[in-house]
C-alpha cells in the first residue's frame, strides 16, 4: 500500500484517485480550488484526504493532474517539497485551437520541460497522457485493462509507478527514457484531433490507446 498525492481536482484527478483507491492506496488531493477539492475528496470516500496548494506533500508519488502549462508552475510552487518524490506528468501539450500542432518545440516534450524546472532531487516520469478520464475511472475498455505508457530516466521511479498502475488494474508499459514522451505526446495530437473532429462520430473524449495483443 502506497500513499500517493494528486495535485489538481478535475476529471483526471478524480479518475487517477479512483484507480489508486481501487488498489487500496491512500490518496491525498491537493487543489487550488478549496470547494472543488473538498467535493472531490468527499465523493471519493474512505482513503482520500484533501489539502490546499502548498500543503505538505505526503505521497511518494505525486501526480500533476493539471493541464499543460500549469505543470511547470506547479513544480516551481512546490519546489523542494517534491525532492525525493516521483513526479508524474500526464499532460498533453496540444494546441486546442486547431489540433494541428504541439505547444512544445520539436525535439523536446512537456515532461522534459517540467523536469528542467523541478527539484533536481525529484524523479520525473511521463504516464497516463494517453488515458482519458472516463475509461481511466472505469479501468478497462472493451473488457481489456487500459494501457498506461510510462517514460522516464529513473528505472526505480518507473518501477514504483508501474507497481501502482498494475495494482490498480491497468497495464503498465515501460516505453523507455523520458524522451520517449515526445512520441507519446505527438500521438495524442493525432488522437485528440480525432476526438475534436465533427467528422468522427466514433471518437469522443473517452478513447483509449491500446497495444494489442
C-beta of 96 vs 190, nearer to its own copies: 190
* 151, containing H or E segment: strand 147-152
Residue 91 sits in the site that holds its own copies (CB under 8 A): no
C-beta of 97 vs 106, nearer to its own copies: 106
- Cis amide bond preceding 213, omega within 30: yes
Residue 67 sits in the site that holds its own copies (CB under 8 A): no
C-beta of 117 vs 134, nearer to its own copies: 134
In the list 149, 150, 165, 168, the residue contacting its own copies (rule: CB under 8 A) is 149
Residue 109 sits in the site that holds its own copies (CB under 8 A): no
Residues 24-43 that bind its own copies (CB under 8 A): none
The CA distance from 17 to 140, in Å, is: 15
Residue 124 sits in the site that holds its own copies (CB under 8 A): no
Residues 172-211 that bind its own copies (CB under 8 A): 173-176, 180, 182-184, 186-187, 189-191, 193-194, 197, 199-200, 203, 206-211
Cβ 134 vs Cβ 208: under 8 Å? no
The residues, ordered by sequence, that sit 6+ positions from 198 with a Cβ below 8 Å of its Cβ are none
Residue 142 sits in the site that holds its own copies (CB under 8 A): yes
* 29, containing H or E segment: strand 26-31
CB of 162 to its own copies, least distance (A): 12
Residue 158 sits in the site that holds its own copies (CB under 8 A): no
Q: What do you get for the CA distance between the two ends of the chain, in Å?
A: 30
Burial of 129: CB neighbours in 10 Å, binned 0-12, 13-18, 19+: buried
The DSSP output letter for 66 is S
Cβ 53 vs Cβ 32: under 8 Å? yes
Binding site for its own copies (CB under 8 A): 106-107, 135, 141-142, 144, 149, 173-176, 180, 182-184, 186-187, 189-191, 193-194, 197, 199-200, 203, 206-213
Amino acid at each position: 500500500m502506497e500513499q500517493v498525492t494528486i495535485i489538481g481536482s478535475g476529471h483526471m484527478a478524480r479518475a487517477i484517485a479512483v484507480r489508486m483507491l481501487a488498489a487500496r492506496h491512500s490518496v491525498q488531493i491537493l487543489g487550488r480550488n478549496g470547494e472543488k477539492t473538498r467535493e472531490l475528496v468527499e465523493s471519493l470516500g474512505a482513503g482520500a484526504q484533501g489539502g490546499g496548494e502548498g500543503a505538505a506533500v505526503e505521497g511518494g508519488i505525486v501526480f500533476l493532474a493539471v493541464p499543460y502549462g500549469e505543470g511547470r508552475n506547479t513544480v516551481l510552487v512546490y519546489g523542494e517539497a517534491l525532492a525525493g518524490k516521483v513526479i508524474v506528468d500526464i499532460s498533453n501539450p496540444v494546441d486546442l485551437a486547431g489540433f494541428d500542432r504541439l505547444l512544445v518545440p520539436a525535439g523536446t516534450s512537456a515532461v522534459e520541460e517540467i523536469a528542467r524546472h523541478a527539484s533536481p532531487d525529484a524523479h520525473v516520469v511521463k504516464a497516463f497522457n494517453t488515458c482519458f478520464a472516463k475509461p481511466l475511472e472505469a479501468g478497462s475498455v472493451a473488457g481489456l485493462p487500459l494501457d498506461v505508457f510510462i517514460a522516464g530516466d529513473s528505472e526505480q521511479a518507473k518501477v514504483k509507478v508501474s507497481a501502482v498502475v498494475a495494482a490498480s488494474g491497468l497495464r503498465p508499459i515501460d516505453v523507455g527514457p523520458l524522451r520517449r514522451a515526445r512520441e507519446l505526446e505527438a500521438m495524442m495530437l493525432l488522437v485528440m484531433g480525432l476526438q475534436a473532429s465533427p467528422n468522427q462520430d466514433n471518437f469522443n473524449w473517452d478513447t483509449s490507446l491500446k497495444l494489442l495483443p
